[in-house]
Amino acid sequence: MKVDVLLGLQWGDEGKGKVVDVLTPNYDVVARFQGGPNAGHTLEFEGQKYVLRSIPSGIFQGDKVNIIGNGVVLDPSLFKAEAEALEMSGHPLKERLHISKKAHLILPTHRILDAAYEAAKGKSKVGTTGKGIGPTYTDKVSRNGLRVGDILHNFEEKYAAAKARHEDILKSMNYEYDITELEKQWLEAIEYLKEFHLVDSEHEINNLLKEGKTVLCEGAQGTMLDVDFGSYPFVTSSNTICAGACTGLGIGPNKIGEVYGIMKAYCTRVGAGPFPTELFDETGKKIRDLGHEYGAVTGRERRCGWIDLVALKYAIMVNGVTKLIMMKSDVLDDFETIKACVGYKIGGQEIDYFPFDIKEDDIEPVYVEMPGWKTDMTKFTSENEFPEEFNAYIDFLETQLETPIKIISIGPDRDQTIVRYTE
């Protein structure tokens, strides 16, 4: 009986997809527990690149069961496009992918509402991915949502009622839109969805655990985008933290084993909101170029900066992280010096915690600067090859974060992954 959780500790895009794929051979089941197609999880192996949005990243490794849990919000159209593309590329998934009947459906009008709310916010907009995430979770919590299981009985009626409610809101906002094409595709995709195993995934997972099977829960987004603990209101609309795996899959907290927290060797953010270590200079541009920091879902430029240990300590605390995984170390291969933020200065006063009302303008990061390693690490196969300066960087991070770094990623490919054995 064992459930491990793997989740992002920053503002998303830490490299969760790659690592879930690497770890999948150690598990029987891989399950997504929250978020929806706002996620873009990239995997690379055998010269191919795949971007997954709603389908768990365990789908490529043998005959594992992959589950889309109740905590996820699912857009049938985007799901159909994603699933068909995978099937076309020789990865059949109808037998292996199980979808919770309790997962909520993203309706075409949810996407329109997402755009309308963003437009209404004007300058203070969140910069959402535009996938209807916020409005769908809003309907879930206000007890107005439609769930995957609803497509099996009297669906037309339920859909018409939900759509009419949304149309009233959009009318009251004077928001112009046309959903004809979007809706046509969406209704076709509802039929496609029926071809999958629609299950009570909480029973399935708990029964598998009873049989001694192991589960890896795959987080989406990151802790600083968590609706409770992130940089609110510039967050997503779900609990991205470890507790989300319990509510998003129906797993008791006593079943959770390892909590893997993923971070980049630096930090990025897409969309609006505070980002204390953001770099607006040539260094930030260099990180963006070397790290190919452009969104997997929207293609937007990712904002880049140095690693933020204040935010990371907070993320480790609220998740109960037991092991760290550091991604994209190779992106810093060619820097004279590397910086790590160890505190914030606000109004001349230094603090070492993430403040309630964080304002970008009056926050100044306090940095420790270390020598860079100036070595191409992308072809390394063991930690024994790590340069001295890189070892000093990871030692420093482990000491500051009081958590061991167990996996180091040195490139996007499945093979560019180094497991550390030293304590």
Task: Tell me if 17 contacts ligand GDP by CB under 6 A.
Answer: yes
Q: Using CA atoms, how far apart are residues 416 and 423, in angstroms rounded to an integer? A: 21
227 torsion bin: left (phi>0), alpha (psi -120 to 50), beta (else):
alpha
Shortest reach from residue 128's CB to ligand IMO, in Å: 4
Instruction: Indicate which of ligand GDP, Mg ion, ligand IMO, none lies near residue 129 (CB less than 5 to 8 Å, by partner kind).
Output: ligand IMO
Structure tokens at 345: 């200065």
Task: Tell me if 129 contacts ligand IMO by CB under 6 A.
Answer: yes
Cis peptide before 233 (omega within 30 of 0): yes
Coil, strand or helix at 414? coil
Instruction: Indicate which of ligand IMO, Mg ion, ligand GDP, none lies near residue 98 (CB less than 5 to 8 Å, by partner kind).
Output: none
* Residue matched to tokens 């655990």: 209
Shortest reach from residue 380's CB to ligand GDP, in Å: 11
325 torsion bin: left (phi>0), alpha (psi -120 to 50), beta (else):
beta
By CB under 5 A, the residues from 274 to 303 that bind Mg ion are: 296
Judged by CB under 6 A, the stretch of 88-96, 128-136, 181-189, 380-388 that binds ligand IMO is 128-136
* Residue matched to tokens 């260094």: 283
Task: Tell me if 250 contacts ligand GDP by CB under 6 A.
Answer: no
Residue 42 or 335 with smaller CB distance to ligand IMO: 42
Task: Tell me if 225 contacts ligand IMO by CB under 6 A.
Answer: yes
Residue 250 or 412 with smaller CB distance to ligand GDP: 412
In terms of Cβ atoms closer than 10 Å to its own Cβ (0-12, 13-18, 19+), residue 241 is buried
Q: Using CA atoms, how far apart are residues 404 and 393, in angstroms rounded to an integer? A: 13
Q: Using CA atoms, how far apart are residues 29 and 180, in angstroms rounded to an integer? A: 38
Catalytic residue among 4, 21, 41, 104: 41
Shortest reach from residue 381's CB to ligand IMO, in Å: 28
Task: Give catalytic status of residue 13 as yes or no.
Answer: yes
- The phi, psi pair for 142, rounded to 5°, reads -90, 10
Report which DSSP code applies to 392. Answer: H
Structure tokens at 110: 């949810």
By CB under 6 A, the residues from 50 to 79 that bind ligand GDP are: none
Report which DSSP code applies to 47. Answer: T
Task: Give catalytic status of residue 139 as yes or no.
Answer: no
Q: Using CA atoms, how far apart are residues 262 and 326, in angstroms rounded to an integer? A: 6
Interface residue with ligand IMO, options 3, 4, 12, 358 (CB under 6 A): 12
Report which DSSP code applies to 302. Answer: P
By CB under 6 A, the residues from 13 to 42 that bind ligand IMO are: 13, 38-41
Q: Using CA atoms, how far apart are residues 40 and 52, in angstroms rounded to an integer? A: 6
Judged by CB under 6 A, the stretch of 9-17, 165-173, 250-258, 279-287 that binds ligand GDP is 9-17
- Closest by CA to 84, choosing from 184, 152, 183, 185, is 185
Site string for Mg ion, 36-75 (x = CB under 5 A): ----x-----------------------------------
By CB under 5 A, the residues from 306 to 365 that bind Mg ion are: none
Amino acid identity, position 357: D
Rg (CA), the chain: 21
Site string for ligand GDP, 29-48 (x = CB under 6 A): ----------xxxx-x----
Task: Tell me if 284 contacts ligand GDP by CB under 6 A.
Answer: no
- Could you give the residue numbers annotated as active site? 13, 41
Which parts of this chain interact with ligand IMO (CB under 6 A)? 8, 11-13, 38-41, 126-129, 131, 133-134, 220-222, 225, 236-237, 270-271
Which parts of this chain interact with ligand GDP (CB under 6 A)? 8, 12-18, 39-42, 44, 291, 296, 327-328, 330-331, 409-412
